[in-house]
Chain A
Amino acid sequence: MTGHHAAQTPVTDGVDQAVSYESEAVLRAVDVVKSYVLDEVVVNALRGVNLEVRRGEMLAIMGPSGSGKSTLMHIVGLLDHPTTGTVSIDDEDVSGMEPNQLAAVRNKRIGFVFQSFNLLARTTAQANVELPLVYAGVSGSERSRRAREALERVGLGDRLGHMPNQLSGGQQQRVAIARALVTEPSIVLADEPTGNLDSRSGVEVMQILQDLNEQGITVVLVTHDARVARHAQRVVHLRDGQIVLNELVEDSIKAAWEVQQLDSVDAIGHDLDSLSVNARPRP
């Protein structure tokens, strides 16, 4: 599952040293434990996870379902709180913050992309993208301009007034990405962003995430899919609530190339169609 292109480094205890750069960590989780009670049974979703995300990198957190990868993303995204352990964003410890302070951090520094999109129903793409800016206190005209820019950036400049139910899954996910990056966050967290999409939409979404990363945005990707994970530069493997492997991907998959492949396959299919039409015997 690790592939031929990956260099494996064993996990030492503490912060994963292989990629630890002084004060370059945009996100740092230390000894994060999450346990909760489900049907009177204590579930240990995370058992002491240490994770550091460098500014500008594209990291995948990979693991089978139940490995705790989503829980980890929710905790480092400040949507959930750890049972013990600390989380720092931009070198600021957010563990002891009030819910409203956490909201402000989420608003300004974190962008989310969910598997199920989580757009507001019956609300236009434009208004959905503006939502974080509303809570950031940005004025109306400025909001509108920035939301439009973000939507243009994900290729939806012509869909501003569409409601989520008028958009395809891939388009909805791109609206969600626009919403995630409209506040110019320090980090974008994407939880199974391609999970609900067909392969082409999935590849397109991955291309957008890679493009954003190339433009300097830190991206953390959570997935169970090894192929999706290999779009990142580094993959952290999670199993039973612990990091078991931290691998650098040497030649990560370029989604742009995949899109080209799909285009050419389509083109060939199209040529074949027209060929068969032309080859039909004439009466």
Chain B
Amino acid sequence: MNIVESFRIALRALNANKVRSALTMLGVIIGVAAVILLVSIGTGVQSQITGQIAGLGSNLLYVFPGKLEGRGGPGGGGVGKKLTLDDVKYLQARLGSSNLVIPELAGAGDFRYHNQTMNGQVTASDENVNQAAIGTVQIGRWYGRGEAVGASHVAVLGSGVRDTLFPGQNPVGASIDVNGQPFRIIGVLEKKGGGFGGNQDNIVSIPLSTAQQLFGTSDVSVILVRVADAKQVDAVKAQAQIALRPRFSDQFTVFTQAQTLSFLSTILGTLTAMLAGLASISLLVGGIGIMNIMLVSVSERTREIGIRKAVGARTYDILSQFVIEAMVLSVLGGVLGILVGAGGALALRSVVSTQVTWWAVTLAFFFSAGVGVFFGVYPAYRASRLDPIEALRYE
């Protein structure tokens, strides 16, 4: 009996048992699709965020108050002495005019336009805000020096705020309430995209002096230093540390962009690993599903093997039939799973950034296919070695 005939027998057997075939395939589909989808979300988010950070330029330094201890993260050292505008001026003087020192203040904000309100973040800076990596103005402009110093009530909206409060409109010139005070809108930022839940676009940027009044503080959250020469980042970092030590002792932290990036990468890598873990659980569940349906059908199939052997099937005939059956189901299920997973990843693009990775596709496919083939073939292998009468008697 040739291979074509083996295929015909296998396909006929699959066709005769449509429900069983479909259920087996479903196990493969679920396993493969889940892995591809979850891993694509993990990698997508990771590469998007690291891409954003890297896009800000490698010549940025961040100065945080408090000592960064171990894995506490920036500012994790507890409440110490805060940074102020005086520190900004001091640092600017010490680092030279070629390196730009920019203050930033962030706080919670609720934004209101007519009857509509939303929550987000107020991010404030001075006239050098365009260098501060908050975003790029798409419509309108940033606030200038006069507005920054004069505590003007002007605001630049993140695209998320614009989309929520001014859907489909150009809000420049309109007035928005930020934490209860009216601001004139002078610009809108470009969309930054997802991040952790799209928060990066739900911001309103206002001049630092205005924000300090609004929040009733004279502090700044972070000081950014844009180093003129990217090669000098480490040198400037050392300079800044020396400059700040007399004022803060060791209760401050200077971070380079590279450090931030690797720090975030670690967090996001953990996230991806977590998603991959979840996915491998669904892969396992899918595998168990395949195993179940195969084992449940063993008694029926053992009798079938007995019948086939009684009428003259050789061991090879039985094995080739079952191997082909299992491979057809696994490959078909795997391909469908890839389509569903990749399709799902594509469909999710509007919500969260996704990136289909080949290692996930390959891993999921071969794992599911392997489980399918093993549990499809192993019982058949055992049955094919029985005396026909044993197989016929199998209950």
Contact = CB atoms under 8 A, between A and B. Distances in A.
Partners in one complex: yes
Interface of A: 74, 77, 79-81, 99-100, 103-104, 106-108, 112, 114, 118-123, 127, 131-132, 134-137, 179, 183
A101 to B, nearest CB: 9
B1 to A, nearest CB: 6
Given A100-B316, A120-B304, A123-B16, A79 B387 contact: yes
B307 A79 contact: no
Contact of A108 (B9, B12, B312, B316): B312
A216 B295 CA distance: 44
Q: Which 4 A-B pairs have the closest CB atoms?
A: A107-B312, A122-B16, A132-B311, A135-B312
Interface in B1-18: 1, 5, 9, 12, 16-17
A137 B313 CA distance: 11
Point out which of A108, A120, A132 has the most chain B C-beta atoms below 10 A from its C-beta: A120
Contacts of A100: 314-316
A132 B312 contact: yes
A77 B309 CA distance: 12
Contacts of B16: 120-123
Interface string B353-395: 0000000000000000000000000000000000111001000
B312 A106 contact: yes
Point out which of B5, B312, B314, B392 has the most chain A C-beta atoms below 10 A from its C-beta: B312
A137 B389 CA distance: 23
Interface string B26-69: 00000000000000000000000000000000000000000000
Nearest to B18: A122
Interface in B318-338: none
A107 B312 CA distance: 4
Contact of A99 (B1, B17, B315): B315
26 contacts: A77-B310, A79-B310, A79-B387, A79-B388, A80-B387, A80-B389, A100-B314, A103-B314, A104-B312, A104-B314, A108-B312, A112-B310, A112-B311, A114-B392, A118-B306, A119-B307, A122-B16, A123-B12, A131-B307, A131-B308, A134-B1, A135-B311, A135-B317, A136-B312, A137-B1, A137-B5
Given A81-B387, A134-B9, A103 B312 contact: yes
Nearest to A135: B312
B contacts with A: majority SS: helix
Interface residues of B, number: 25
Contact of B300 (A74, A121, A131): A121
Nearest to A75: B389
A118 B12 CA distance: 18
Nearest to A137: B1
B303 interface: yes
A122 B14 CA distance: 10
B80 to A, nearest CB: 76
Interface of B: 1, 5, 9, 12, 16-17, 300, 303-304, 306-317, 387-389, 392
Contacts of B314: 99-100, 103-104, 135
Contact of B389 (A79, A103, A104): A79
A179 B310 CA distance: 11
A124 to B, nearest CB: 9
A120 B387 CA distance: 18
Contacts of A122: 16-17
Contacts of A107: 311-312
Contacts of A118: 303, 306-307, 310, 392
Point out which of B1, B306, B307 has the most chain A C-beta atoms below 10 A from its C-beta: B307
A118 to B, nearest CB: 5
Contacts of B5: 134, 137
Nearest to A119: B307
B308 A135 contact: yes
A136 B9 CA distance: 13
Contacts of B389: 74, 79-80
Given A106-B309, A114-B392, A121-B300, 6 more contacts: A104-B314, A106-B311, A108-B312, A118-B303, A135-B1, A137-B1
A179 B12 CA distance: 18
A137 B317 CA distance: 11
Contact of A103 (B12, B303, B313): B313
Nearest to B1: A137
A132 B314 CA distance: 11
A79 B392 contact: yes
A151 to B, nearest CB: 15
A250 B389 CA distance: 34
